[in-house]
Amino acid sequence: MKNNLVAVITLICTLTLDILTKNFVEKNFNFQDKIDYFDGLLRIALVYNEGGVFGILQGYKKFFLIISIVVLVFMIAYYIFEKNKTLLFSISMALIMSGAIGNIIDRLISHRPGVVDFISIGVDSVYRWPSFNVADAIIIIGAIMLVIIFYKEEKKRKSINSNQQ
């Protein structure tokens, strides 16, 4: 029960952060505006992503809305039916679901042409990573945590199996 409460609090806090940052950037930046930090290594600039991850398939907003909702439903079902809900697992799933919900909300807002992205990392003359937002970052953090959890569980399972033989 405690893990579920932590998951809900994590989801609410990260979703709120995502919504507030997107609204702030959308209200205070035009398409030409940008703020560079660390000699341009970190850039804040308003970008609308009408496609999927890393801007692929631009113009397929509804397609990615449907895919996002389907994936979110599967994630919720997986969380509900998972019997071994450690604290780390609960937090990682909450992060992934929160990010998915944040990007779904963007796709549902009629005046937005796409998901609000605003964080860009890189050097213009060398390489600049595609723009992203808080939701994207927390999805990646949650996914990395999930991989670590699965790796540790598999390692533990192999150790138990080798000790039994």
Active-site residues: which are they?
Answer: 117, 136
Query: Is-contact 3 9, C-beta < 8 A?
Result: no
Q: Output the six-digit token pair for 122.
A: 């890189």
The 3-state secondary structure of 67-101 reads HHHHHHHHHHHHHHHCCCCCHHHHHHHHHHHHHHH
Cβ 115 vs Cβ 19: under 8 Å = no
DSSP summary character for residue 56: -
Q: Which residue has the tokens 């952060």?
A: 17
- Other C-beta atoms closer than 10 Å to the C-beta of 114 total 20
As a three-state string, the secondary structure of 19-50 is: HHHHHHHHHHCCCCCCEEECCCCEEEEEEEEC
